[in-house]
Amino acid sequence: MNWFERLFPPKINVSSRLSGKRGVPEGVWIKCASCQATVYGAELERNIQVCPKCGFHMRIGARDRLLALLDDGSQEEIAANLRPVDILKFRDSKRYKDRIVDAEKSSGEREALVVLKGTLKHSTVVTSAFEFRYMGGSMGSVVGEKFARGVDIARELKSPFICFSASGGARMQEALFSLMQMAKTSAALNRLHEDGLPYVSVLTDPTMGGVSASFAMLGDIIIAEPGALVGFAGPRVIEQTVRQTLPDGFQRSEFLLEHGAIDMIVGRLEMRDTLASLLGSLGFRGSLIPTLSDLLPEDATKS
């Protein structure tokens, strides 16, 4: 088991899609980890990785998520060229340097956070999403810097900022540097709020540790996907501390809603409409209705 499987046992996190068992060619037929139904891969993709049979939300890559959210063709990546460095020369059973190479291969991304500028129903937004396949979506210096740059670009554009979290927490291989990203991301949000711009935080499975205990919980509006595991301490650590089995549904989205920690639970298929509606009410609405100048021939508006 790798380290994030230890944190989040396969039972609750790794969808069969990733495990590629049963000799089925990967990507063609996928077994839902929740209802066990076999689903056609293309159908699942159209459904943004939500099981069409039972509605279970499987993990989705950062880029796919943002591309599904933003208007087609509007997307532009921010700070794509930032790369991690092994400043501590960290080595456990593996060198951090090698883990970086592996993470790039397995995720197809260059870091655990993807930031895209674009439009959501014709309204400009800056969006970011965690790539869980990149070292468990852990937050190191690059994630903190990309987040901060995304926020600052939202400020330049006077647009809202949205972040989809999916992370095991801070990246241990960057030690105290990674802890300090909690302050760096929070300071960026402070600037955004000073400018009167909204920040929406969307919690997806899982959002834990240093990510949960910083920007993920700082949204003007906090939304969670159904059934996401969200908390400060991991369930195993808590079980070891309190020496009792945790109740069903503990630290799940529904538990958080019940305890007043989040505003709402929204399914992935309704996310685009919900976000556009919320931001619209906050005063960030795209112009769906064509303006007079769009309708009239160019010289007509001049007179």
| CA 243/CA 263 separation, integer angstroms | 31
**Among the candidate windows 15-23, 52-60, 124-132, 238-246, which touches another protein by CB under 8 A?**
238-246
Nearer to another protein, 84 or 198 (CB): 84
**Among the candidate windows 61-69, 114-122, 155-163, 166-174, which touches another protein by CB under 8 A?**
166-174
- Residues in the interface with another protein (CB under 8 A) total 63
Q: For residue 67, how many C-alpha atoms fall within 13 Å in the half-sphere facing its CB?
A: 9
Q: Is 29 in the site for another protein (CB under 8 A)?
A: no
| CA 73/CA 183 separation, integer angstroms | 34
**Among the candidate windows 18-26, 123-131, 243-251, 287-295, which touches another protein by CB under 8 A?**
243-251
CB 267 within 8 Å of CB 50: yes
Closest CA to 2 of 164, 138, 141: 138
Binder of another protein out of 102, 177, 254, 257 (CB under 8 A):
177
Which residues in the 82-101 window bind another protein by CB under 8 A? 82-85, 87-88, 90-93
Write down the H helix ranges in 213-298. 235-242, 253-258, 268-281, 292-295
| CA 243/CA 262 separation, integer angstroms | 28
Q: How many CB atoms lie within 10 A of CB 111?
A: 27
Nearer to another protein, 43 or 76 (CB): 76
**Among the candidate windows 112-120, 154-162, 240-248, 287-295, which touches another protein by CB under 8 A?**
240-248
Q: Is 56 in the site for another protein (CB under 8 A)?
A: no
Look up residue 254 and give its two tokens: 């529904």
Q: Is 231 in the site for another protein (CB under 8 A)?
A: yes
| Distance of closest approach, residue 43 Cβ to another protein, in angstroms | 35
With tokens 């991304």, the residue in question is 109
| DSSP at 264 | E
Q: Is 223 in the site for another protein (CB under 8 A)?
A: no
First-to-last alpha carbon distance for the chain, in angstroms, is 72
| Helix (H), strand (E) at residue 207 | strand 199-208
How big is the chain by its Cα radius of gyration, in Å? 20
Binder of another protein out of 34, 75, 124, 186 (CB under 8 A):
186
Binder of another protein out of 22, 25, 242, 283 (CB under 8 A):
242
| CA 118/CA 286 separation, integer angstroms | 12
Binder of another protein out of 210, 229, 266, 271 (CB under 8 A):
210
Look up residue 182 and give its two tokens: 């909690």
Binder of another protein out of 12, 54, 246, 264 (CB under 8 A):
246
Q: Is 232 in the site for another protein (CB under 8 A)?
A: yes
Residue 127 sits at φ, ψ, to 5 deg, of -120, 150
| Distance of closest approach, residue 46 Cβ to another protein, in angstroms | 34
Contact footprint for another protein (CB under 8 A):
3, 6-7, 81-85, 87-88, 90-93, 140-142, 144-145, 148, 170, 172, 174-184, 186-187, 189-191, 194, 209-210, 212-218, 230-234, 237-238, 241-242, 246, 250-251, 259-261
